[in-house]
């Protein structure tokens, strides 16, 4: 989450200018006391340094751009796609459980509390809430009206936010569940997290972030019964 606040400079001109500023002081000091042959050598060394820096930055930006294009293909599979060969054991077991539940028509052994017929479930993404949704949708003969509420202004960048939201919507359509799409309010989130930009993960900022999203979820539940 810290990357939301600290945006590194990635322009080639920025790196070149910084290099020139750092080296110019020492370069001109040495240049003034050198013979013609040494001056030529210093100029060539400085040009070589700049060429190496520019080449490195171009290579970095090219690889970053390629990775971003590949990330555009990102999608969530709900455990339906084959896992890679190097997947950890817990991921393999979780995938096997999901497949078994679908193949066997799993029915939950649990039931909602007495008198509870409607549930508003806050969701940050389909994989996180998917197991809970499936569990509540498989409460046997007990009818439970489930609504998924999506309010997550903390998700960054917006591309990731849209991926999670669209997958959530698709998952809900598949199970015939109502989906509430709240506004994306990153400015509101930034304002509320002001002063906690450099707090560690699982610290005070995380608590405030949870509170912010749960407050909006509770407000919607109150206003819509």
| pTM greater than 0.75 (yes/no) | no
Lay out the sheet containing 178-181: strands in order across.
Answer: 118-122, 145-150, 178-181
**Contact between 150 and 165 (Cβ < 8 Å):** yes
Q: Rounded distance, CA 207 to CA 33, Å?
A: 61
Domain ranges (residues) in the chain: 2-70, 113-223
The CA-to-CA distance between both ends of the chain, in Å, stands at 34
Where do runs of H (alpha helix) occur along 72-177? 89-104, 126-137, 158-175
Q: What is the pLDDT along the chain (225 residues), one digit of tens a residue?
A: 434 433 444 455 555 566 656 555 555 656 566 666 766 777 777 777 777 777 777 766 666 666 555 544 444 454 556 667 777 887 777 777 777 766 766 666 677 778 888 889 999 887 778 778 877 877 765 577 889 999 999 998 989 999 989 988 988 888 888 999 988 888 989 998 999 988 888 889 999 999 999 999 999 999 987
What does DSSP say about strands 178-181 and 118-122: parallel, antiparallel, or unpaired? Answer: unpaired
Q: Rounded distance, CA 145 to CA 116, Å?
A: 9
**Contact between 92 and 125 (Cβ < 8 Å):** no
CATH number of 113-223: 3.40.50
């Amino acid at each position: 989450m810290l990357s939301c606040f600290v945006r590194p400079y990635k322009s080639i001109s920025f790196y070149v200018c910084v290099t020139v500023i750092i080296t110019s002081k020492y370069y001109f000091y040495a240049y003034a006391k050198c013979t013609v042959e040494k001056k030529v050598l210093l100029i060539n060394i400085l040009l070589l340094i700049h060429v190496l820096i520019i080449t490195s930055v171009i290579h970095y930006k090219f690889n970053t751009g390629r990775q971003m294009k590949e990330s555009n293909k990102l999608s969530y599979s709900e455990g339906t796609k084959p896992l890679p060969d190097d997947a950890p054991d817990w991921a393999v077991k979780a995938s096997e459980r999901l497949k078994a539940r679908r193949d066997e028509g799993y029915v939950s052994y649990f039931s909602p509390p007495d008198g509870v017929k409607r549930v508003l479930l806050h969701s940050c993404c389909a994989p996180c809430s998917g197991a809970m949704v499936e569990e509540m949708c498989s409460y046997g003969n007990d009818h439970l009206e489930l609504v998924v509420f999506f309010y997550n202004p903390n998700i960054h960048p917006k591309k990731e936010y849209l991926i999670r939201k669209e997958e959530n919507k698709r998952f809900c359509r598949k199970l015939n569940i109502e989906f509430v799409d709240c506004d994306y309010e990153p400015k509101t989130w930034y304002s509320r997290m002001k002063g906690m930009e450099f707090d560690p993960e699982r610290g005070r900022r995380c608590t405030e972030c949870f509170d912010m999203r749960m407050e909006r979820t509770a407000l919607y539940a109150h206003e819509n019964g």
